[in-house]
Amino acid sequence: MTETPLPPAEWRLLITPPADGATNMAIDEAVMHALSEGRGQPTLRFYRWEPPCLSLGYNQHFTDVDMAACERLGYTWVRRPTGGRAILHTDELTYSVITTQTDPRVAGGVVESYRRLSAGLLAGLQKLGAVAVQAKGDMPKNPQQGAACFDTPSHYEVTLNGKKLVGSAQVRRKKMVLQHGTLPLRGDITRIFDVLAVSVAEKTALARELLARATTLAREMGRDVSFDKAASAMAHGFSIALNVRLTPAPLSAYEQELAEYYRAERYTTADWNRRV
């Protein structure tokens, strides 16, 4: 059965400077909040993390974090508003899609919206030359999944050569949808175990398993892709696959104010980060 083509839409393209984890999560929250009040616009955002940051899923216990290791390495950590497991954000392109629940691109349940949005991810990666990317709806669960997000692909998450490449998570609130995810561009994805509270023996075994299940773009393509080039290709992919016209624009003054509020009152607080 052929799917009905998506109607045209206009979204903002927002590329923000590198920021710490609390700021990045606060910006996503602010954009969603402003849109829910009729003071924002549907947005495709690309961003980076500086310094590297370990993010926990909404319901993940904070004791999964090795606090001493984070401090020693100069990393930060934060709790996401979305579910899933821990991700170490470094050497990557992170995306977020923020739109209304009435947008046909995210209509239906979470899995159905994953399927539609994955079309944009696939198209962008194919433009970069990763022609073997896939997003399947029948991914098997990993019964031994641990604290790290990239242990196993979920439904309609993107794989390349059979390994997980893009990890995504979603939250629905105030009739809005926020989906964000990470595309590791390069580097050693097993570094996450340096900042998770697991034994040395566990780290060795977990690192081996992770390398068998997940990958980076550079590892599969044999060359590095810059953040700017990846962002340009992914924007093109979303635009073509989802029939959206992307117009570059910065945060509004109201969104910036909200982001500062959420950073101070939520994403830097123990009440939020240690809530589980």
Q: Chain-wide mean pLDDT for the chain?
A: 93
Could you tell me the two tokens for 162? 């059979």
In the chain, where do the E strands start and end?
9-15, 43-47, 53-56, 76-79, 87-89, 92-100, 133-135, 158-160, 163-173, 176-184, 244-248
Q: What are phi and psi of 176, to 5 degrees?
A: -115, 160
Q: What is the pLDDT of residue 176?
A: 98
What CA–CA distance (Å, rounded) separates 103 from 91? 31
- Determine the average pLDDT of the residues in 149-157: 62
The set of catalytic residues is: 149
Question: What are 21-38's pLDDT values in tens digits?
Answer: 999 999 999 999 999 999
User: Does residue 4 form part of some domain?
Assistant: no
User: Does residue 204 form part of some domain?
Assistant: yes
User: Does residue 275 form part of some domain?
Assistant: no
Q: What is the pLDDT of residue 155?
A: 74
Inter-CA distances, 142 with 102, 109, 138, 145, 205, Å: 33, 22, 13, 5, 15
Enclosing domain of residue 100: 9-263
User: How distant is the alpha carbon of residue 266 from its chain centre?
Assistant: 19
What is the torsion angle, in degrees rounded to the nearest 10, for the CA atoms of residue 97, residue 99, residue 101 and residue 107?
-50
Could you tell me the two tokens for 204? 């060795």
pLDDT at 153 over 90: no
Q: What is the domain count for the chain? A: 1
User: Does residue 268 form part of some domain?
Assistant: no
User: Does residue 3 form part of some domain?
Assistant: no
User: Does residue 238 form part of some domain?
Assistant: yes
Considering 20-34, 105-119, 129-143, 148-162, the range whose residues carry the highest mean pLDDT is 20-34
User: Does residue 17 form part of some domain?
Assistant: yes
Residues above pLDDT 70, as percent of the chain: 93
User: Does residue 269 form part of some domain?
Assistant: no
1-15, 100-114, 116-130, 237-251 — which is least confidently predicted? 1-15
DSSP per-residue string spanning the chain = -PPPPPPPEEEEEEEPPPB-HHHHHHHHHHHHHHHHTTSS--EEEEE-BSS-EEEE-TTS-GGGB-HHHHHHHT-EEEE-SS-S-BEEE-SEEEEEEEEETTSTTS-SSHHHHHHHHHHHHHHHHHHTT-TTEEE-S-PPP-TT--SBGGGS--TT-EEETTEEEEEEEEEEETTEEEEEEEEE-SS-GGGGGGSBS--HHHHHHHHHHHHHHB--HHHHHSS---HHHHHHHHHHHHHHHHTEEEEE----HHHHHHHHHHIIIIITSHHHHT--
pLDDT at 142 over 50: no
Question: The domain that contains 122 carries what CATH number?
Answer: 3.30.930.10
Question: What are 167-215's pLDDT values in tens digits?
Answer: 999 999 999 999 999 999 999 999 999 999 999 999 999 999 999 999 9
The tokens 């080039």 sit on which residue? 229
